[in-house]
Amino acid sequence: MVTGATGQLGRQFCQALAAAGAEVWVTDLEQARCQQLAETLPGPQHHGWVVDVGEPQSVQAVMGKIAARSGRLDILINNAGIAVFEPFEERSFADFMRVLQVNTGGTFLCIQQGSQLMRQSGQGGSIINIGSIYGVVSSDPRIYTDCNRKNSECYSASKAGIIQMTRYFAVHLAPYGIRVNCISPGGVYNRQGEDFVAHYSRGVPMARMGQEEELNGAALFLASEESSYMTGQNLIIDGGRLSW
């Protein structure tokens, strides 16, 4: 199951998992887009389903569908997330809390419900959370010269919470053979402004932003038995940005 599946990173994760032979549950907020993506994936039958990860009943509903139709859940990628972009001085408390509800709360709800399916199968599983380097360090306001999508304090807080929950659930789900890890990307190119791309790239040893497909290898590694002795870790994929 991949949440936020029709977005930039989610689509890549779905395609990589399907190509590796997984039966993929494509979940996001719009049924038509989920179903369309599911129908384009290679391999066995895939499924598109609407999920609002910030709503407990919505998460319960999709887990019930997976249990009834597939019988088990082996891999869960908690990718869904939202952000807000105005200056923090203008932030409403409702918007602040909504980001935490969807990003951190949604990750919690999916782990809570998804791990139950994994435990019932008796086969364990792999949970992969999607954090961010901004859950580890602050964004640099000097690089957002021509970019209206400025990073926010609540987005950073939500990703820091996800990274810490990764460690918590790694410990508490280990007795059931369930591994929990996190991928924290650096900046991924998504048609940002030229100045932003140039400023960001100057802060990266590899001198460029990441490409969305460059996260697939980490996701497949964590999803597979190749990482069978790995849990509670936060893989930072940032071209070396946090190394200096």
Per-residue pLDDT reduced to its tens digit, 50-81: 999 999 999 999 999 999 999 999 999 999 99
- pTM of this structure: 0.96
Tell me the pLDDT tens digit for each residue of 162-201. 999 999 999 999 999 999 999 999 999 998 889 999 999 9
Rounded distance between C-alpha atoms, residue 160 and residue 138, angstroms: 11
Percent of the chain with pLDDT over 70: 99
User: Is residue 150's pLDDT more than 80?
Assistant: no
The per-residue pLDDT for 151 is 82
The per-residue pLDDT for 188 is 95
User: Is residue 204's pLDDT more than 90?
Assistant: yes
For the question of residue 155 being annotated catalytic, the response is: yes
User: Is residue 146's pLDDT more than 80?
Assistant: no
Amino acid at residue number 51: V
Mean pLDDT of 37-53: 94
Q: For the chain, give every domain's residue range.
A: 8-243
Q: Using alpha carbons only, give the angle 135, 141, 144 rounded to the nearest 5 degrees.
A: 105
The per-residue pLDDT for 107 is 98
Rounded distance between C-alpha atoms, residue 14 and residue 79, angstroms: 11
The chain-wide mean pLDDT, for the chain, equals: 95
Phi, psi of 81, deg, nearest 5: -170, 155
Q: In the numeric block, which tokens belong to residue 130?
A: 């999607």
Q: In the numeric block, which tokens belong to residue 116?
A: 């139950």
The per-residue pLDDT for 157 is 97
The per-residue pLDDT for 141 is 87
Q: Which of 155, 176, 189, 229 is catalytic?
A: 155
CATH superfamily of 8-243: NAD(P)-binding Rossmann-like Domain (3.40.50.720)
Sign of the alpha-carbon torsion through 46, 47, 48, 50: negative
The per-residue pLDDT for 48 is 97
Q: Using alpha carbons only, give the angle 128, 131, 135 rounded to the nearest 5 degrees.
A: 150
